[in-house]
C-alpha cells in the first residue's frame, strides 16, 4: 500500500472516530488513544515502508502498550466497587 493511501485511510478513520466515537468515550480512553498514535505510526512504517526497528524501539513500544493497559485497568471499576441495587428492586440478592 503506497504511503499516500495509508495517510488517506488514517485521515478518514480519525475523522469518523472524532465525530462520533470519541464523544462517547471517557477521558482515560481518549488519552490512551493519543499514546497509541506513535506506536501505530511505527508499526505502519515497518509494515508498509520496510523500515527497521531497533531493540530499543521495540522496548519502548512494549512500555507504551503496558502503560496504556495499566491505565485502562486502573480506570475500570472493580466488581467489588459496584453499587448494590436499590432496596426493593427485583434483582436483589437473597
Q: What pLDDT does 32 receive?
A: 77
Q: Is the Cβ–Cβ distance between 66 and 21 less than 8 Å?
A: no
Could you give the C-alpha distances from 43 to 14, 19, 48, 64, in angstroms and in order? 17, 25, 8, 13
Residues 6+ apart with CB under 8 A from 45: 51
pLDDT digits 0-9 by tens, 56-76:
999 999 999 998 888 878 766
pTM beyond 0.75: the answer is no
Q: How far apart are CA 55 and CA 40, in angstroms?
A: 17
Domain boundaries, the chain: 3-75
* Average pLDDT value for residue range 49-53: 90
pLDDT digits 0-9 by tens, 7-36:
566 556 665 555 566 667 677 777 777 888
Q: How far apart are CA 6 and CA 8, in angstroms?
A: 5
Q: What pLDDT does 55 receive?
A: 95
Amino acid at each position: 500500500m503506497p504511503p499516500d493511501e495509508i495517510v488517506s485511510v488514517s485521515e478518514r478513520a480519525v475523522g469518523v472516530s472524532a465525530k462520533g466515537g470519541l464523544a462517547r468515550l471517557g477521558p482515560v480512553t481518549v488519552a490512551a488513544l493519543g499514546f497509541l498514535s506513535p506506536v501505530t505510526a511505527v508499526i505502519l512504517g515497518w509494515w508498509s515502508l520496510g523500515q527497521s526497528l531497533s531493540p530499543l524501539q521495540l522496548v519502548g513500544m512494549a512500555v507504551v502498550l503496558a502503560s496504556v493497559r495499566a491505565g485502562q485497568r486502573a480506570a475500570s471499576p472493580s466488581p467489588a466497587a459496584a453499587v448494590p441495587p436499590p432496596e426493593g428492586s427485583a434483582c436483589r440478592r437473597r
